[in-house]
Amino acid sequence: MQIPFEPQLFGYNINIHLVLEYLAFFIAFRYYILLKRKSNDVISSNNRLSIILGAALGALIGSRLVGFLENPLVNISQENIIQLLNTKTIMGGLFGGLLGVEIAKKCIGETQSSGDLFVFPIILGIFIGRIGCFLSGINEFTYGIETTSVFGMDLGDRILRHPLALYELVFLIILFLCLKQIKNTAALKSGVLFKWFMILYFTFRFFIEFLKPNVFYLFGLSTIQILCLICLLYYHKTLLNIFKNAR
């Protein structure tokens, strides 16, 4: 199979990344509905709907904003502006969704933690989306820098690069299995599982970003890495508890 993978249907090229992106949303949401039916959700249906709407709006704004900030110094032109408006990133979506949820909960007076039900659907959705990223090769900015290691792959430009999407797929499988094991064996307080997911995923993305051909604007870090540090700072109390218990 050639990368980028561009299948044809009735003579038209299919954007495999876009197809898998929509499929990721659909399957992740159906998985969420399944988990919700099996759980004893302490949050009312109306409040849960408000939280989902807050998450969706926050994710939309966050993904676009951080996508723009990844390359804020682009030359101003109609073509570049349109491209920037269409740029989005899962990292901004996750953190924006988090803030959207917190704002929504403040507005409706909900005090219960709401994130645990979203953890595994989110991981599944990211996993499906990353398959699309890998199949898109260099058409999506999820490829790595040039490498001479055994992991190097030609992603469409005849240069052996780190296949970062594949690295992330492996990480997501491990993360899913580990969090499942923790959920089934440990007595966690409500909301802790989601915090662990955010901490582990954002930590992984912080380090993997060094393997991307990024523009490092501030302190030798990319926009995504700065966002990762903001997220870890947001969860500093959880991190301190983890280090305290480990010690």
Partners of 97 in the beta sheet?
none
**ω into residue 4 within 30 of 0, thus cis?**
yes
Q: Which domain holds residue 119?
A: 8-42+112-246
Whether the CB-CB separation of 135 and 3 falls below 8 Å is answered with yes
Whether the CB-CB separation of 179 and 196 falls below 8 Å is answered with yes
Q: Under DSSP, is residue 70 helix (H, G, I), strand (E, B) or coil?
A: coil
pLDDT (average), residues 144-169: 92
Residue 233 lies in a domain: yes
pLDDT level of residue 28 (50, 70, 90 thresholds):
very high
Task: Say what the pLDDT of residue 78 is.
Answer: 57
* Separation between Cα atoms, residue 99 and residue 62, nearest integer Å: 9
pLDDT tens digits along 198-238: 999 999 999 999 999 887 777 888 889 999 999 999 998 88
Residue 220 lies in a domain: yes
Residue 134 lies in a domain: yes
Residue 195 lies in a domain: yes
Residue 122 lies in a domain: yes
Mean pLDDT of the chain: 85
Between these two residues, 72 and 155, which has the higher pLDDT value?
Answer: 155
pLDDT (average), residues 27-47: 84
Residue 124 lies in a domain: yes
Residue 107 lies in a domain: no
Q: Which two tokens stand for residue 53?
A: 């709407």
Phi/psi zone of residue 49: left (φ > 0), alpha (ψ -120 to 50 degrees), beta?
Answer: alpha
Residue 72 lies in a domain: no
Count of the separate structural domains present in the chain = 1
pLDDT level of residue 246 (50, 70, 90 thresholds):
low
Q: Under DSSP, is residue 245 helix (H, G, I), strand (E, B) or coil?
A: helix
Task: Say what the pLDDT of residue 233 is.
Answer: 94
| 8 has a pLDDT exceeding 90 | no
Element (H, E) at 198: helix 192-208
- Percent of the chain having pLDDT more than 70? 91
Whether the CB-CB separation of 224 and 209 falls below 8 Å is answered with yes
pLDDT (average), residues 173-201: 91
Between these two residues, 163 and 243, which has the higher pLDDT value?
Answer: 163
Between these two residues, 178 and 72, which has the higher pLDDT value?
Answer: 178
pTM of the model: 0.88
| 179 has a pLDDT exceeding 90 | yes
| 74 has a pLDDT exceeding 70 | no
